[in-house]
Amino acid sequence: MTSKPFAQLPVVLIAVLGSAATAQTPTLSSGHADIGIGFEDGAFDLHVHDEDTDTEYTPSGVFLGVGAAAFTTTPAALSALAPIGSSLWVLPKDQRPDLLYLGFGTDELNPADWSGKISLTLTSVSGPGNFGIYDVGAFGNIQIQMNSADGISAGDKLELQPGSHGHYNLTFTAPGTYSIGLQASGTHLTDGLITSDTANYTFTVVPEPGTYALVGLGLVALLVLGPRKQS
């Protein structure tokens, strides 16, 4: 009879093994990148701009990695995003060498061409947990811009000044792959109100360090020992 000594490895091991199927899609997991909003031929152009290599990707052409270093537990101040003490992955607005420094840029837009700000609205979240974006005010107050934990509505949005660049804190409540739908809208002084199609951005959230180490050990054991037989 053939035994299955590794049958109890975490399900995430399967995801790690399956990731080889998407190896052709690059992943940005460190350095500086932006979710960019341009305007071409009367329509918004949503994309990802790798600032370090000056490479531009379509939203579906790149994965945005959230490394294990983003793992923390939810403080009371962020209880609207997740239960206090529960797992939370935070991609911070402050630059860190071990995490992706992801911004939101309307640098390509000429402020003189627009009336008011550009709205970047959350339209959908597909993944193993909830997604959020928050900022911290001058007096330490939490300002939640997007939060799928309480449902998605027109209030889940960032208001961006044309010709600007900014950073926020992005949160995820479970490891795995997320598809985040975003839609841009704004009033062009010549073309009027412009609303983009939804652009779907893929985020890959790595498990917390302890689970990640367990998966790594399981992979090593699986490769070294292989299936074992017993009579």
Could you tell me how many residues make up the chain?
A: 231
End-to-end CA distance of the chain: 6
Query: What does the pLDDT read at residue 32?
Result: 98
39 CB neighbour count, 10 Å cutoff: 22
In the sheet with 165-167, reading across from the earlier edge strand, the strands are: 55-57, 43-50, 31-40, 100-105, 165-167
Query: What does the pLDDT read at residue 23?
Result: 59
pTM score, whole prediction: 0.82
pLDDT tens per residue across all 231 residues of the chain:
444 444 444 444 434 434 444 558 999 999 999 999 999 999 999 999 999 999 999 999 999 999 999 999 999 999 999 999 999 999 999 999 999 999 999 999 999 999 999 999 999 999 999 999 999 998 999 999 999 999 999 999 999 999 999 999 999 999 999 999 999 999 999 999 999 999 999 999 999 876 444 444 444 444 444 554 444
Residues 6+ apart with CB under 8 A from 37: 44, 45, 46, 104, 105, 106, 108, 109, 118, 120, 160, 184
